Amino acid sequence: MEHQSPLQPLVSEILALPPALGPVRLVGIDGHAGSGKSTFAGVLAEALGGAPVLHLDDVASHEELFEWVGRLRAQVLEPLAAGRAAHWAPYDWVERRFGPERVLEPGPVLLVEGVGAGRRALRPYLARLLWMETPRAKSWGRGRNRDGRELSDFWDGWERAELAHFSDDPSRPFADTLVRQSSTGYEWTSGAAGAAGTGVGVTEGDETPQA
């Protein structure tokens, strides 16, 4: 018998949504830095049969922690909305430059994860917005421990930038689904379903985004 992902109820919710970006159901996964967005996006992508994941850490840069909307719209959103392949170049946080171009074909579902995935400029394109319910202090502490002391200066600047961003442009009030990581896996509450579900367990600290 084929194994069914514990996230299947959430997968069914997503696949039942009408596309909001041309033929694509764009699903945003937002939350504080270190809240587990990348890990959850990977688990959800696998449950969706290998859906692509766009990491906003690949769109942002040292100089543009949150000023990346125009680039994302031109390189990714507008082409996909027209049913065309998106061509974009991920940012290299070590080399501090944008790398080789990648191609993203339009498909049934695209997950976009990162701080700001639910910002007001992106919400018109989203079929569903998920928010990781990890408290800010816990998220930031996890992120600092993950990245080590050599990135402490970066984190100092990041925390100020994230506070300013969410103060001006909060995402959580607009989330359709709240996701919590528990000792047994994931639990979520969706406005559409009005009920909680459970998912697979992962080890805390597996997430490795730059922001």
Tens of pLDDT, residues 115-156:
999 999 999 999 999 999 987 778 777 767 776 676 677 777
Q: What pTM does this model have?
A: 0.87
Q: What is the per-residue pLDDT across 58-111, written as a single tens digit (0 to 9) for each? A: 999 999 999 999 999 999 999 999 999 999 999 998 899 999 999 999 999 999
H and E: helices and strands count for the chain: 6, 11
* CB atoms closer than 10 angstroms to residue 209: 24
Measured torsion, CA atoms of residues 143, 145, 147, 152, in degrees rounded to the nearest 10: 90
Judge whether 186 and 130 are in contact, CB under 8 Å.
no
Residues 6+ apart with CB under 8 A from 160: none
